[in-house]
Amino acid sequence: MITFKAKQLCLFSHCMLRLLPRSKQTILQQVAKRNLSQGLSFPPRMPKETTTKQPLSGTFGVAKPSGPTSMALVNDIKKLVSNSSLFVEESKLQGAKHKRKGKYRRGPVKIGQGGTLDPLADGVLVVAIGKATRDLAEFLNCVKEYETTCLLGCETDSYDSEGAQVRVAPWKHVTREKVEEALQQFRGEITQTPPIFSALKMDGKPLYEYAREGIPLPRPIEARNVTIHSLEVIEWKGSDHSFRWPEKKLSEDQKKALEKALKGVDEQAKVEDSPVSESEHSDVPTAFVLRMQVSGGTYVRSVAHELGHALGSAAHVVTLTRTRQGRFTLRPTEPSDMSCVPWSVFEKALENPGEPDSDGRLEWERDVLEKFEVFDESNKKSKQQKN
């Protein structure tokens, strides 16, 4: 016997059927009769439709804090990803759970980053999971945007505040107008020489080892062609700030070693202080903030270092923020822009992952999916995951 509720469902279904092609009407009518005769509902319940097959491969941006290395953050994220059913096949996930505890080695899923940030630097760090790691080269070569604070009067071996003082130079003659005028020579296509205190290798040996050991460079550091699309002063701090020159200084022996390494390519190279007034030693040196959009391979620290020379002074970087890398950015302005996941999301999950929601997702997984681009292997591009 058909109940009143069943009759209502039949009437509703009849109205809906009229909107469908005749062939589909016949099929659904047969399903309706069968379900109603068995006391089942019509239309039958359908499982939730998923737009993406799991496990997921894709890319997202992380807002890196200043301090830790990029690799340390990626390794921490890998601990979470390797235990997530969103990113790991169930068979591999179960296998990983039965493995002996100990130092984390090879995990059940690939993970990589699209361009290292120095420990001092913060900002956009692009992370790829699974098959999306194949396309990370896209982010190494894309346009990047940085904001950096430069401090005048002191040059360091690393070109930033993490290094040691190499030399000091006058700085009180430098004005905002002089800086803006000097910036003109750095815009467009330029040739840039990487710093000697870098991890780049020459004949299998890192450049910084030549400098520290006083070994002359076998040949000049190879310059690279880069493009600075835009470069401007966005803030003139003057002396109203808390930045100071590094307390650490190169010893006389270290200075001689550095000079000897540099003389391997430039016989006139000297590492010595320029005459500086007493007030320039004691007063708070001038600082200013630059914003730049640059091509892949550009050393922001080198821009600050060379700008100091162009101003008849010395300079080094005290803050460095990557505000954009390709479509990932800290401040989205375009519909296609992708915002970044704060590092605090992962930090919290590492301490306590919490309980899953009704869909079985943890809080950090939901936060990542909101800013996640799913890798589409069929046409080698990514599409934004919609939740």
In 268-339 the beta strands, taken as DSSP E runs, fall at 287-294, 315-325, 328-329
Q: What's at 298, amino acid-wise?
A: T
Concerning whether 203 is annotated as a catalytic residue, the answer is: no
- Tell the burial category of 60 from Cβ atoms under 10 Å away from its Cβ (0-12, 13-18, 19+): buried
How far apart CA 202 and CA 205 sit, in angstroms, is 5
Q: What angle do CA 228, 233, 237 make, to 5 degrees?
A: 145
Report helix, strand and coil shares of the chain as percent, to nearest 5: 30, 25, 45
What are the tokens at 382? 């990514």
- Tell the burial category of 341 from Cβ atoms under 10 Å away from its Cβ (0-12, 13-18, 19+): buried
Q: Are strands 287-294 and 224-238 parallel, antiparallel or unpaired?
A: antiparallel
Q: Which residues contact 165 (CB under 8 A, 6 or more apart)?
A: 154, 155, 156, 245, 246, 248, 249, 250
How far apart CA 62 and CA 19 sit, in angstroms, is 47
Per the residue annotation, which of 76, 118, 135, 376 is the catalytic one? 118
What are the tokens at 304? 């600050």
Query: Hey, CA dihedral for 349, 355, 357, 361, is it positive or negative?
Result: positive
Put residue 333 in one of left, alpha, beta given phi > 0 → left and psi -120 to 50 → alpha. alpha
What are the tokens at 194? 């990487």
Asked if the peptide bond before residue 43 counts as cis, ω within 30 degrees of 0, the response is yes
- Catalytic machinery residues: 118
